[in-house]
Amino acid sequence: MAQKIIILDFGSQTTQLIGRRVRELDTFCEILPYNKFPKDDPSVIGVILSGSPFSVHDPEAFQVDLSQFVGRIPVLGICYGAQYLSHSLGGRVEKADSREYGRAHLETVDLSNPLFKGFEKGSQVWMSHGDTITAIPEGFQVIASTKDVTNAAFYCPAPLGEGQGDVPVWAVQFHPEVYHTLQGSQLLKNFVVDICGSRQEWSAASFIDTTVEELKQQLGDDRVILGLSGGVDSSVAAVLLHRAIGSNLTCIFVDHGMLRKNEFTQVLNDYKVLGLNVVGVDASQKFFADLAGVTDPEKKRKIIGRDFVEVFNAEAKKITDARWLAQGTIYPDRIESLNITGKVIKSHHNVGGLPEEMHLQLCEPLKWLFKDEVRRVGRQLGMPEHLITRHPFPGPGLAVRILGDITPERVRILQEADDIYIRSLREYKVKLAGEEARKVLAAGVPAQMQDGEVEVSLYDQIWQAGAILLATVRSVGVMGDERTYEHPVALRAVTSTDAMTADWAHLPYDFMAKVSNEIINKVRGVNRVCYDISSKPPATIEWE
């Protein structure tokens, strides 16, 4: 029987990281809203309760019926999850004298408890809460403390009483999922593998075998249409589908005019090498006409989404016997587009855009994968490395990297600046050691360790990069003793593991100086280059 861990999401910014850490343990997990626990699902081997922006005392705080799983299967509460367990089972949660945030160390820890197997005393953890647990429920035992937090971790061997619910519950007020908790991965492994009994059968190879078989059964001899974007998600989805149904897959690649420089031709050539049946459609004139004068970011996205559907639909109708529409939707796409409060963060080009008039069923072979898992699947499928390591690129393309209305000339300016930036990132090599080297190798970036170091390009070291044209802004400059009044370009580069959170990349000064100089000298219409040093949150990766 298949196994999975259920992560109940109470709105924490790091819920996705919990999922990522569990997947790194070769264990399938599913992130669900706090009130959507799947009853009577025998494949569930454990439950993790996430953190939350709420206090357990807030009237609008999210609440869950613990009787569905407490005492029945292993449970781990994290931060708010720990406080909710304590509050609901008879403990006491109060506002802390001061917000407990940042690094702390476990001054006492019960190394005999299975949750802390392999831990070191004094191990660093990461706190982030305004409330604190001042009293744990009856029958619970404290198993770890920090200098300021007595009940940093606790557990109960029989939370519902002897003979009523004998499966233990664990709770930690720190965040084991973040990198700052140095043995957080060990704690999660102890819970998922040792306590819950994961067989660790989730891998890229097993995913391919299972998914190809499921696609064969799901699709049979039906014809499938796939909308390609040139990115890693849709490319991997296409190769996976091609392995399952072969020539019954037809791919459509729409050029809306806002791709990167020469991308339309390059992507079509890549797909020919992969043996895919691809139809390329240049619809740039239509998109430019419909976007003329539009400056609102969400309206841009809506227009591009609408036009894409119209163009795609017209081409798809030529395949009269098609019954399925495939998309490269991945797990974060589905979660980020609609959060647990029901409020749209931003519309996503892969979610919710299927028009009823197409009369096609939806097929999303990658819908359970995080981005780095998609890349591992691509490598397992034998795809070219340059396709697998390609940075995420927004569906609306450069339209959401141009502030103001979209014109062919503004797109040209940004394409030239972006091309210089991305090419330079690929050419510039850096040497990494220690934790940075480990992260790069763990992500599957092709590199060899030599003398404790790895050499990779800046492009492979970062998660996503791009240039932004501040078309609504002009700045004064001097070129050749003449006054200029042209546009600034902002450069953006971030590091991340899942795109749900991101930090700005600390690019070398000599690299930034070279790129700035080349853009200003070679790109007509630009006289100033800036660098975006904001993280997500509060900023998003894209500017629009």
Active site residues: 79, 175, 177
Q: What is the 3-state secondary structure (H, E, C) of 137-201?
A: CCCCEEEEEECCCCCCEEEECCCCCCCCCCCCEEEECECCCCCCCCCHHHHHHHHHHHHCCCCCC
Backbone angles phi, psi at 526, to 5 degrees: -125, 130
Place of tokens 């699947």: 377
Beta-carbon neighbour count of residue 342 at 10 Å? 7
Place of tokens 């059964």: 217
Dig out the tokens for 368 from the structure: 């359970």
Place of tokens 């699709």: 219
Indicate the helix (H) or strand (E) that contains 504.
strand 503-504
Indicate the helix (H) or strand (E) that contains 30.
strand 29-33
User: Which one-letter amino acid corresponds to residue 136?
Assistant: I
Distance, in Å, from the CA atom of 499 to the CA atom of 122, rounded to the nearest integer, reads 31
> Is 57 strand, coil or helix?
coil
Beta pairing class for 278-282 and 249-255? parallel
Rounded (10°) angle between helices 509-522 and 408-427? 150
Region of 67 please: left (phi>0), alpha (psi -120 to 50) or beta. Answer: alpha
- Of 86, 91, 99, 175, the closest CA to residue 131 belongs to 99
**Residues 17, 177: contact at Cβ < 8 Å?**
yes
Dig out the tokens for 262 from the structure: 């020469």
Contacts of 3 (CB under 8 A, 6+ apart): 27, 28, 43, 45, 197, 198, 199, 201
